[in-house]
Amino acid sequence: AQSVTQPDIHITVSEGASLELRCNYSYGATPYLFWYVQSPGQGLQLLLKYFSGDTLVQGIKGFEAEFKRSQSSFNLRKPSVHWSDAAEYFCAVGAYSGAGSYQLTFGKGTKLSVIP
């Protein structure tokens, strides 16, 4: 079964600083990888996804992520954080079960706080 680890529970950065949120996954085959963002009291919004091809993927709101197979990682980055980026971020891995059903498994999330 697949799993996702987000090592950092809470990160605080200053506005304008760079950001990197870590994500490690465990899955035997080529994974389908996702990053979602959740603002307080809201649902989940997709930031970006990786299926195959270029290992550096661009997403919405200026975010990017890099897939590194050798490290089983899919870290999320942003060069300059804005106060509106304060939210909780979830990494997820998608996979098909032996019965052919598709599921996403989520990490426990990283809460981002931004200091003005």
Partner 1 sequence: NAGVTQTPKFQVLKTGQSMTLQCAQDMNHNSMYWYRQDPGMGLRLIYYSASEGTTDKGEVPNGYNVSRLNKREFSLRLESAAPSQTSVYFCASSEGVKLAGGTGELFFGEGSRLTVL
Contacts to partner 1 by CB under 8 A: 9, 32, 34, 42-44, 46, 49, 51, 90, 94, 96, 99-109
Encoded tokens for 34: 């996702």
**CB–CB of 18/80 below 8 Å?**
yes
Matching residue, tokens 């809470």: 10
C-beta of 46 vs 115, nearer to partner 1: 46
The one-letter code for the residue type at 80 is S
Task: Provide, rounded to whole angstroms, the least separation between the CB of residue 48 and partner 1.
Answer: 10
The one-letter code for the residue type at 31 is P
C-beta of 15 vs 106, nearer to partner 1: 106
C-beta of 44 vs 86, nearer to partner 1: 44
Task: Provide, rounded to whole angstroms, the least separation between the CB of residue 79 and partner 1.
Answer: 24
**CB–CB of 9/110 below 8 Å?**
yes
